[in-house]
Amino acid sequence: MRRRLPLHTGSLTQRFAFASAVLAAVAVLLVAAASFWMVNRQHTSAIDLLQQREVAFQARTVGDTLATLASRMDEVAGSPILATGLVDSAGRETYLAPFIGGLRQINGIPVQVLFTDFEGKPIAGNGQERFDGPQLAWLRGRIDAGVESAAIFGQGADAELVGVSLLRYSRTNTPEGALVYKVRLRDLRPGATSNFVWKAQARTTAPGPGLELPVKAPPRFAHLGLTLRVDTSGLDHILEEPWSQYGLIGGIAGLIALVVFLLGTRLSLGLTQDLRKLEGFASRLGQEGIDGQRAELAGSSETVNLARAFNGMLDRLHSQQEHLRREHQRKDEFLAMLAHELRNPLAPISSAAQLLRMLFANEPRIRQASEVISRQVAHMTHLVDDLLDVSRVTRGLATINKADVELGAVLREAVEQVTPIIEARGHRLLLDIAPESLPVCGDRTRLIQVAANLLNNAAKYTPDGGDLRVTLRQHRDMAVLRIQDNGIGIGPDLLPVVFDLFTQAQRTPDRAQGGLGLGLALVKKLVELHGGDVAAESGGLGQGSTFTVRLPLLEHGRRTARTALATATPAVAPTSRILVVDDNVDAADTLALLLGSAGHRLTVAHSAQAALMEAARDHFDFILLDIGLPDMSGHELAAALKKLPQFSDAVLIAVSGYGQEQDRHMSREAGFAAHLVKPILADELIDTIARLAATRKPLPAAHRGQV
DSSP assignment of 213-243 equals EE----HHHHTT--EEEE--GGGGGGGSS-H
pLDDT of 4: 45
**pLDDT confidence of residue 169:** 67
SS3 call for 292: coil
Quick check: 558 pLDDT over 50?
A: no
Is residue 155 a contact partner of residue 134, using CB atoms and an 8 Å limit? no
DSSP bridge partners of 239: none
Strand partners, 405: 440
Task: Indicate the helix (H) or strand (E) that contains 686.
Answer: helix 682-695
Alpha helix locations (H) across 395-515? 407-424, 444-460
Q: Which of 235-244, 321-330, 396-405, 560-569 has the lowest mean pLDDT?
A: 560-569
What DSSP state is assigned to residue 530?
Answer: T
- Please tell me the distance from the alpha carbon of residue 515 to that of residue 702, in angstroms, as a whole number: 64
C-beta of residue 115 within 8 angstroms of C-beta of residue 124: yes
**Backbone φ, ψ for residue 373 (5° rounding):** -60, -45
pLDDT at residue 617 greater than cutoff 90: no
Percent of all residues in the chain with a pLDDT value above 70, rounded to a whole number: 71
What is the structure's pLDDT at 544?
A: 92
Query: For residue 140, what is the enclosing H or E element?
Result: helix 133-145
The reported pLDDT for the residue numbered 32 is 65
Which of 465, 483, 463, 461 minimizes the C-alpha distance to 473? 483
What's residue 701's pLDDT? Answer: 46
| Least-confidence region, from 111-115, 155-159, 700-704 | 700-704
Mean pLDDT of 229-245: 67
Name the phi and psi angles at 211, rounded to 5.
-125, 150
Q: Which of 269-273, 302-306, 334-338, 512-516 has the lowest mean pLDDT?
A: 512-516
Q: Is the pLDDT of residue 581 over 80?
A: yes
* Backbone phi and psi for residue 110, each to the nearest 5 degrees, phi listed first: -60, 135
Pairing between β-strand 150-153 and β-strand 122-125 as defined by DSSP bridges: unpaired
pLDDT of res. 249: 66
Q: Which of 132-141, 380-389, 519-528, 629-638 has the lowest mean pLDDT?
A: 380-389
Prediction pTM value: 0.38
* N-to-C CA span, the chain: 102
Cβ atoms of 198 and 224 within 8 Å: the answer is yes
Give domain 404-505+513-566's CATH number out of 3.30.565.10, 3.10.150.10, 3.90.470.20, 3.40.190.100: 3.30.565.10
Backbone angles phi, psi at 64, to 5 degrees: -65, -40
DSSP state of 506: P
Average pLDDT over residues 300-304: 73
Query: What are the phi and psi torsion angles at 327 (to 5°)?
Result: -65, -40
Rg of the Cα atoms in the chain? 51
Residue 535: predicted pLDDT: 93
Contacts of 88 (CB under 8 A, 6+ apart): none
Helix or strand (DSSP H, E) at 19? helix 12-77
Residue 570: what pLDDT? 45
H/E stretch holding 258 reads helix 243-269
Least confident of 436-450, 546-560, 592-606: 546-560
Asked if residues 588 and 612 have their Cβ atoms less than 8 Å apart, the reply is: no
Q: What is the mean pLDDT of the chain?
A: 77
More confident residue, 562 or 630: 630
Assess whether pLDDT exceeds 80 at residue 229.
yes
Query: Which of 43-57, 287-301, 350-364 reaches the highest mean pLDDT?
Result: 43-57
Contact 578, 624 (CB under 8 A): yes
Strands 651-656, 622-626: pairing kind:
parallel
Greater confidence (322 vs 173) lies with 322
Task: State yes or no: pLDDT of 643 exceeds 50.
Answer: yes
- CA–CA distances in Å: residue 666 to residues 256, 261, 660, 669: 65, 60, 10, 5
Q: Are the beta carbons of 605 and 581 closer than 8 angstroms? A: yes
User: Is residue 348 packed enough to be buried (19+ CB in 10 Å), middle (13-18) or exposed (0-12)?
Assistant: buried
- Assess whether pLDDT exceeds 70 at residue 540: yes
From CA 611, how far away is CA 215, in angstroms rounded? 117
For residues 349-372, average pLDDT: 74
Which residue would you say has higher pLDDT here, 259 or 198?
198
Confidence class of residue 338 from pLDDT cuts 50, 70 and 90? low
Looking at residue 10, its pLDDT comes to 47
Q: Which residue has the higher pLDDT, 495 or 100?
A: 495
Q: What is the pLDDT of residue 286?
A: 67
Lowest mean pLDDT among 106-110, 365-369, 438-442, 580-584: 365-369
Write down the pLDDT at residue 204: 55
pLDDT for 273: 67
Kindly state the average pLDDT of the residues 509-530. 67
- Where do the structural domains in the chain lie, given as residue ranges? 49-238, 272-398, 404-505+513-566, 577-704
- Does domain 49-238 sit in CATH 3.40.50.150? no
Q: Do residues 58 and 228 lie in contact, with contact meaning Cβ atoms separated by under 8 Å?
A: yes
Cis link prior to 679 (omega < 30° from 0)? yes
d(CA 111, CA 71): 14
**Residue 131 to residues 66, 125, 140: CA-CA distances in angstroms?**
20, 11, 13
pLDDT at 87: 60
Q: Which amino acid is at 126?
A: N
Q: In the prediction, which pLDDT does 569 show?
A: 42
The runs of H, that is alpha helices, within 78-132 are 80-88, 92-100
pLDDT(270) > 80: no
Distance CA 516, CA 127 (A): 96
Angle between helical axes of 519-529 and 364-394 (0-180°, round to 10): 90
**Residues whose CB falls within 8 Å of the CB of residue 623, separated by 6 or more in sequence, listed in order:** 578, 579, 581, 611, 638, 641, 647, 650, 651, 652, 653
pLDDT tops 70 at residue 684: yes
pLDDT tens for 11-57 read 455 556 566 666 766 776 677 677 767 777 777 787 778 888 888 88
Which of 233, 196, 173 is CA-nearest to residue 66? Answer: 196
At residue 485, does pLDDT exceed 90?
Answer: yes
φ and ψ of 700, to 5 deg: -55, 145
In CATH terms, is domain 272-398 a member of 1.10.287? yes
Residue 335 clears pLDDT 60, i.e. is over it = yes
pLDDT at 703: 44
Give the Cα separation of 223 and 217 in Å (integer).
9
DSSP 260-273: HHHHHHHHHHTTSH
Question: Which stretches does DSSP call E strand in 499-630?
Answer: 533-538, 545-552, 577-581, 601-605, 622-626
**Residue 557: pLDDT over 50:** no
Dihedral of CA 496/499/504/505: which sign?
A: positive
Give the total residue count for the chain.
707
Q: How far apart are the C-alpha atoms of 580 and 595, rounded to whole Å? A: 10
Whole-angstrom Cα distance, residue 75 to residue 68?
10
CA gap 194, 48 in Å, rounded? 17
Lowest mean pLDDT among 387-391, 549-553, 673-677: 387-391
pLDDT score recorded for residue 516: 46
Of the two residues 628 and 570, the one the predictor is more confident about is: 628
Mean of the pLDDT values across residues 75-93?
66
DSSP code, position 632: S
Give domain 577-704's CATH architecture.
Answer: 3-Layer(aba) Sandwich (3.40)
What pLDDT, on the 0 to 100 scale, is given for residue 483? 95
> 168 with 176: CB under 8 angstroms?
yes
Q: What's the pLDDT band for 441 if we cut at 50, 70, 90?
A: very high
Reduced to 3 states (helix: H, G, I; strand: E, B; else coil), residue 677 is strand
445: pLDDT strictly greater than 80: yes
CA separation for the pair 7, 2 (Å, rounded): 15
Q: How far apart are CA 605 and CA 603, in angstroms?
A: 7
Most confident of 244-248, 415-419, 702-706: 415-419
Walk across the sheet containing 577-581 and list its strands: 601-605, 577-581, 622-626, 651-656, 674-677
